[in-house]
Structure 1
């Protein structure tokens, strides 16, 4: 019988143990290399990384470490790495051997990197709402009805329940035959009969309702302060409510589920279009609480700068919390409030309040002008509150340390607000310090006298503008304003040149305009519609007011950051700043203007992490 000996103790186990130990070490090194302080380099041999930094506007490479930009420079920053050859040819091995492994991402030819884009004036939840039933581009009332029919047919629960409110946004009567306001009778289709329907105009300043809504409202007041009920020749309401008259319409509040859905839609689309920061230009306390909850749960994927608002002429600062870099990722800020002068329209989406949704008002003759409209001499627009009442509020908010941002469309509104701001700034011992520490803003700054165009820059008030408003309004703006007054409207280059601080933050006012920030970039540099036309030809509408591409890029990055007190931490690709950037599949700073809108976002990066697409 052959004697079979058992393996000597320890003869085979050491090999297994060593393999196990090596695996453990490898796993640890791999884990360590993905910790928050991981590093990677992004490089472009074409030098198409646009930093918006004055001393180094373009670079070939930038290195990201954790959430921040560690360095920028020429291609040598990676070539000089002692591990460059190893990371190029043996990336897996080098990562195991070196936990400080530097991954190098080489940009494709023709692509570009820009700082994360910001929208300096938008409405986040309202965007999600609008996407439910979009009426943009509808060529007639019949087309609007067809879209509502499709909406009802696609939702069995809505189809069965005729008491469900149907809401949409985007109609524009100026694009219809005759350019007349619609009426409730235009919503008399059998499928629509008996349903409460409320449809907001593209600028948010008029509400078109069905006959069922008029029945629900009962007897209406003869006049509405700061608003208008359109009536026919017999004095009967037609179904159109303008500005403050919209508060009369009993639209139900949004539910928590509604807000969640709208928020998700807005965040998804924002990231897909390269937005890393949004200034929400009218946040009620309830909306602020919603964003606060999302930020604390780590569910805020972008940076949100909220402007608090309460629908009251009595001081309401105590209702707005102060939040600085709040939440799990420090992406929520609340330190500004929003006030309104002309053309104001409510958007009731929260219980027991009428939420103001103030947007461009020229299309519905709501902008407050110093002289009557050229095409409607019977009106000079609407001022929501008196100058004295507004001044009292502004002074109180200033004393309490809030940035004050005020909606102004018409020259009368802009003039009144500049008077208020100038009194505060120039009465101080150190005017320059007031403008630097307070940073008051005029939202829209759309129509100004030549004197006020000079004054806004001289006293240091920030003009926050939306370039797509110019190209959206250019078909009728001169008819509304006349040949002289139009020279001070949508004057973006003049506003920038007059600004003593050299900033002009750009936004879109979505959902009035599209959420894609490149729409604004294109409008700013071309002054053309998306089809390449304008009332002044292919050279653009009032082409002297075009921005250069460098000015436009700065306006949607660093200038927007300045307007939110964040220029030291983001807005440009500089060492020590947040690693927020966007990779585009083409170089918008070089391609022909008609190619800009074909640009696609390849990746949106926030805090050094990919939030959309891939590196």
Structure 2
């Protein structure tokens, strides 16, 4: 089948030494962006249909059919949520090898399977299908806790002082993630001079990505190394002083002006380890990484073939129009490494973000008159390349935040999907954060799929920058679903927490984690809330659908992969105020417990 590798081809690739090429441009990924079968709102997951031959041999037998089965059973008769088409709730799951052999009551399992091993979950705990996540892991130098510029600089200083390898090597580039200037009292962009004022930081290359991943804050040395700079750049912004000199912040496409060093496999494996361990601790078994370049794609593929991926990964090849069209020179890869690596998707970033005030709007930002944001990829390019990628067998995922950007995206999809089987193509709008009612209806008629790694706090914090009327179209989940679109949930980590429990809580309450919203404790536009079942499906089977894996993943059904999560509480019944106390007791992939214990 096109895009699939034979075992011989996989072995050849694994044995071949392929060093990563030097990186001469900025990495376009929030590291290891994971997608947990949960996308965060609407906008990260629709795809094209391929078979998954690696799951079974030609006779249709499980690779481990001779493995001894075991049963995981809840203390309650309704403690297992299968998320099948009937939303069946039962008591036990029977696992054989890598697959689910059966589900049913404890009496049914005992009468059918006799003397097998039983693993009983603690009283009050529940078993659900695995979750998906979109994630970028910058945990090595997190900056979210900084409440002002001074605190952010101090975090960078302490990171350098506390790592002997970094402190002793002034040529090493310092990377960090998570600064949020929108909450800082200075009410200005940070500058290179702010970093260089510290004697430990001065003279080092520093590149710090903002919390929304749409801006770099760099040091003076980094400015010097990457000079000279243009006065302006299409689809981006270079923050400048009164004399027109760059001050140290580069927004959206301007980030590409900052070169990154070559990563070794050890560097990448260290970042990947953070991501995989965090994901498993939150019950995440599949990750969608949304902005990968060719070298990163090759790295993940090699790790999968070597058996080093702990979670399944669904990679998206980042589209850079300056590098040209690649859909006819590359082929999708489906299910390499026993189903742990798939790369059949393309990510196009249409506009910027709300935090950076670069998402493309029909009207000015309420707090920034004259600014309507901008497109990072023009409407004309969208209409040109989307049908080409679909023609060549790729799923297309388009990042759209602002209402005007999403209008362009919907128009491009309308033109591209004329005469195309939408179920086969499954294009996705990632985020679909602000949409007009008309565009929501147009998307619904297409049978579109919206995903977003979202968290209510982000929407609440920046809501009123959009103005009192436009904000009604922000994260309008109920309208989007009622119009006929399919929603996948997730976290857009590290922009927000990767914890799917936080995502479910936000989806059903429209509140921040501490119970607040701009509209009070009743929730922010509460008529747009999702039900618990809709949220659960958004993190599981609907997210699997977005990655073309709903026939093998996303629900606890006979013949599917035995990926499941044991939670300390029943998130479908526990009082809302107690939901965030839910813990992951165990995470299993292919029937093996890889986090916690049963």
Common topology (TM > 0.5): yes
How far has the Cα of 1:35 moved from its partner? 7.8
- 1:77 and 2:108 correspond: yes
1:242 aligns with 2:242: no
Provide runs of 4+ in structure 1 moved above 4 Å.
none
1:422 aligns with 2:422: no
- Whether 2:132 is the aligned partner of 1:140: answer no
- 1:142-161 pair list within 5 angstroms: 142-161=150-169
**1:433-444 map, 5 Å:** 434-444=421-431
Q: Does 1:113 align with 2:127?
A: yes
Q: Which residue of 2 aligns with 1:384?
A: 376
Question: Which of 456, 460, 473 in structure 1 is aligned with 2:459?
Answer: 473
Is the partner of 2:93 in helix, strand or coil? Answer: strand
Corresponding residue to 2:97 among 54, 66, 86? 66
1:326 pairs with 2:326: no
Tell me the distance in 1 between the aligned counterparts of 2:217 and 2:583: 36
Structure 2 Cα separation of the partners of residues 133 and 275 of structure 1: 22
Please identify, of 227-236 and 262-271, the stretch whose mean Cα deviation from structure 2 is larger.
227-236
Aligned residues: 532
Give the C-alpha shift of residue 80 in structure 1: 2.4
Contact map agreement 1:285 1:310 (CA 8 A) in 2: no
Q: 1:270 aligns with which of 273, 279, 301?
A: 279
Residue pair 1:308, 1:320 contacting (<8 A) in 2 also: no
Question: What is the distance in 2 between the residues matched to 1:248 and 1:402?
Answer: 28
- Counterpart CA distance in 2 for 1:65 and 1:546 is 38
**Relative to 1, partners in 2 of residues 1:74 and 1:442: Cα closer, same or farther, differing over 3 Å?**
same
Paired residues of 1:285 and 1:320 also in contact (CA < 8 A): no
| 3-state SS of 2:377 partner | coil
Deviates further, 43-52 or 216-225: 216-225
Q: Which residue of 1 aligns with 2:135?
A: 122
1:462 and 1:81 map into 2 onto residues whose CA distance is: 40
Q: Provide the alpha-carbon RMSD of the alignment.
A: 1.8
Q: CA deviation at 1:213?
A: 2.3
Number of the residue aligned with 1:366: 358
Deviations 1:373-428 (A, max 9, x none): 22212211111132122211111111111111111111111111111111232x31
User: Using a 3 Å threshold, how does the CA distance of structure 1 residues 82 and 378 change in structure 2: closer, same or farther?
Assistant: closer
Are positions 1:337 and 2:319 aligned together? no
| 1:464 to 2:451 alignment | yes
SS in structure 1 of the partner of residue 469 of structure 2: helix
Quick check: 1:153–1:159 contact (8 Å CA) kept in 2?
Answer: yes
CA shift for structure 1 position 203:
0.6
Structure 1: state its 5+ residue gaps: 1-33, 84-100, 344-360
- Paired position in structure 2 for 1:228: 237
Paired position in structure 1 for 2:326: 316
Counterparts of 1:374 and 1:67 in 2: how far apart (Å)?
53
Query: What TM-score do the two structures reach when normalised by structure 2?
Result: 0.86
How far is 1:237 from its partner?
2.3
Alpha-carbon deviation of 1:42? 1.5
Structure with bigger gyration radius: 1
- 1:260 to partner: Cα distance: 1.2
Cα distance in 1 between the residues matched to 2:164 and 2:113: 64
Matched, 1:488 2:473: yes
Aligned to 1:449: 436
CA contact (8 A) 2:454 2:496 kept: no
Please state which structure has a larger fraction of its residues in helix: 1
If the length of structure 1 is used for normalisation, what is the TM-score? 0.83
| 1:42 corresponding residue in structure 2 | 72
Instruction: Give the Å deviation of 1:219.
Output: 3.6
- Quote the Cα distance in structure 2 between the aligned partners of 1:137 and 1:108: 35
User: Is the CA contact 2:431–2:454 (under 8 Å) kept in the aligned structure 1?
Assistant: no
In structure 2, distance between residues paired with 1:219 and 1:180: 24
Which residue number corresponds to residue 117 of structure 2?
A: 103
Q: For 1:180, what is the secondary structure of its paired residue?
A: coil
Cα distance, 1:109 vs structure 2:
0.9
**Pairing partner for 1:169 from 171, 177, 182:** 177
The answer to whether residue 238 in structure 2 is matched with residue 255 in structure 1 is: no
- Cα distance in 1 for residues equivalent to 2:204 and 2:534: 49
User: Contact 1:363/1:473 (CA < 8 Å) preserved in 2?
Assistant: no
Q: CA deviation at 1:216?
A: 2.9
Secondary structure, in 3 states, of the residue corresponding to 2:489? coil
